[in-house]
Amino acid sequence: MLDLRQLHYFVVVTEEGQMTRAAARLHIAQPALSQAIAKLETDLGVRLFERHSRGVTPTEAGAAFFQHALRALLAVEEAQEAVEPWLRAGPRLVVGFDEAAGDLARRLLRRFMLAHPEVHVETRHLMPADRLVELKRGRIDAELLYPPSGDEQLVEQLVERSPRYVLVGESHHLAGERSLVFDQIEHETLPGRHPSVDQRSANDTWLMTRRTAPPRVTSETPTSLDELWALIARGRAIAILPQFMIPRLQGDGLRAIPLVDVEELEVSLACLRGDARPAVRDLRASLRPAEESEPRFARSGDGALQDTASPCPDG
């Protein structure tokens, strides 16, 4: 008999089109995932995927099975959600965001939680491939986006305008600069785009509105801050990042330098259009206009960013 774990693994592999990316998204080892898919094919008695050098593609049987497997998983989630009013006395709010935006998300949610202690707040770290997917499926109630998507199904509210910084290794020829302009970095190598990152987000990160041609990028495509740190520390690339990511990466061989002549990165909170639940409404109402936000970080004498906020900001 099939189990939900098998269905979940199969759906993620189909969505990713590659065992390596699917295993990273599921947080399991690739051999274990491959074995699980092989067992599923054995149990069903039919081949679900065609294997090729670029990854996997569903067979005709696999494509048909995918639609039913996805509906089955969604039905289980709906069944679980149906009993939640009996599990919790108060309202629930689930907010998703990329792990790199954790500092920004905590500031926002801390403010909301202090004002609304009756709401049960949960957070979900989203992989790049989950951008907007979990929100539109109803698995989360709100999502932090950067840059904003402009999707007509969503209501997006500006949270913050974050200045951009250039992150370089300590031995990089720009490491001694106190500030930079775009012309100084236009021809530097940048981290490559992982296939799970949509092109629009990559274009914003690469500042494509300033370029006449795509930048030179590495063959390596980091998907975590640790992978990005290793790439820059080895001198393989530089990175252009918003201010709220810098404290997690600066130091340990890296320097962050303000990029002073480019537009700030806009961060928004997205909710489904028409979602009028009180918890979602209150979350949106708790956001201050970006123009009223006080700077969170200040530069010390050597140009490094220092956190000026209290450990538990009270809004």
pLDDT digits (tens, 9 = 90+) for 196-207: 888 888 999 999
CATH of 89-161+265-295, one of 3.40.190.10, 3.30.1360.70, 3.90.1640.30, 3.30.2270.10: 3.40.190.10
> Contact, 48 vs 61, CB < 8 A?
yes
- Residue 288's pLDDT is 58
Per the structure block, which two tokens stand in for 57? 């593609």
Residue ranges, CATH 3.40.190.10, the chain: 89-161+265-295, 164-258
Percentage of the chain modeled with pLDDT above 90: 59
Q: How confident is the model at residue 86 (pLDDT cuts 50, 70, 90)?
A: low
> Contact, 273 vs 152, CB < 8 A?
yes
Question: What is the distance between the alpha carbons of residues 67 and 261, in angstroms, rounded to a whole number?
Answer: 48
Domain 4-84: which CATH class? Answer: mainly alpha
> Contact, 131 vs 258, CB < 8 A?
no
Q: Residue for token digits 């957070």?
A: 123
Give yes or no for residue 311 having a pLDDT over 80: no
Task: Give the angle 302-303-309 at the CA atoms, nearest 5°.
Answer: 110
Residue ranges, CATH 1.10.10.10, the chain: 4-84
- Residue 145's pLDDT is 93
Q: Read off the pLDDT of residues 205-255 as tens digits, 9 standing for 90 and up.
A: 999 999 989 999 999 998 888 899 999 999 999 999 999 999 988 888 999
Q: What is the mean pLDDT of residues 85-111?
A: 83
Domain 164-258: which CATH class? Answer: alpha beta
